[in-house]
Amino acid sequence: MTPRSKALLLLTKWLFTFMMAHSNWTIAQDVKIGGYHYPPFMYEESKGGIYPDILSIIAEKTDLQVHWQYYPYPRLTALFNSGDIQIEMGSAPVWTQKAKVQGVYTQPFHTLKDVAVFKPGSKKSSKNINGQRVGVVRGYSFPQFQDAFDSGLATRIDAPNELHLIRLLLNKRVDLIIINQDLFRFHRQNDVKMRLLQVGDVVGSYDIAIRIHPDYKHLLAPINHALSDMKNNNQIQWIINQYISQ
């Protein structure tokens, strides 16, 4: 075999290897993404937010054609179970352990932290909440505090959303609140009164990822590859920083 033939053979092998590897992380397919109004992560009216921004880059890297569908969360869950929604952004396996269809998860792309927030001058450890009125978002579960709530040692007060929860604390209707740290930072950015509130302990930490319906698990490899590339380039944190002051 001549040197030229050897070179052509090596080039052919390299191109074949590249194409096969490349095919592992690109897939041209239409997929429906389940969303709900959850600023700054998702905005129903503008169809923007942290999660859509992240997913738009993933779509560019993988050739996925994504179509956002916005529903109340219980409806989104039912559609995911039936396979009419194929992807949910920003979920965690621990949240769906008892779901009818748990789904398959990509690698994590961000960590959400729940923190205790107190009125000015009243910051204390959240490990003992006895005698406290604790504000939480309705429907959210906090196993670490459940015994205190069930026994009446602490009083759980539910709010419909995070902004209402903060207002309860500002109006002194609760002694502390448990809230997602990112969401608290987001709402605090444009409200001077909120800046006086004191952030306490981290009471929960969740590595969030992309949840994929099992019938579409072939999307896992290309999406994971795109996420790895984005994390290596610091694109995900850059997107988050555009919405939330650290």
pLDDT digits (tens, 9 = 90+) for 103-127: 999 999 999 999 999 988 887 877 7
Residue 27 has pLDDT above 80, yes or no: no
Exposure string for 5-16, b = 16+ CB within 10 A, e = fewer:
eeeeeeeeeeee
Q: What is the pLDDT of residue 25?
A: 60
Residue 152 has pLDDT above 90, yes or no: yes
Helices (H), the chain: 3-23, 50-62, 73-82, 143-151, 162-170, 181-188, 220-232, 235-243
| Contact status, residue 105 vs residue 209, Cβ threshold 8 Å | yes
Structure confidence at residue 98 as a pLDDT band (50, 70, 90): confident
Q: What is the pLDDT of residue 21?
A: 45
Q: What is the pLDDT of residue 144?
A: 87
Structure confidence at residue 3 as a pLDDT band (50, 70, 90): very low
Span 158-174, pLDDT tens digits:
999 999 999 999 999 99
Reading phi first (left if > 0) and then psi (alpha if -120 to 50, else beta), residue 83 is in: left
If you average pLDDT over residues 73-91, what whole number do you get?
A: 95
Residue 12 has pLDDT above 50, yes or no: no
If you average pLDDT over residues 55-67, what whole number do you get?
A: 95
Mean pLDDT for the chain overall: 89
CA distance 12 to 99: 48
Residue 8 has pLDDT above 70, yes or no: no
Q: What is the pLDDT of residue 15?
A: 43
Structure confidence at residue 139 as a pLDDT band (50, 70, 90): confident
User: Where do the domains of the chain lie, and which CATH numbers do they carry?
Assistant: 25-110+208-243 (3.40.190.10), 112-206 (3.40.190.10)
- Count of helices and strands (H, E) across the chain: 8, 9
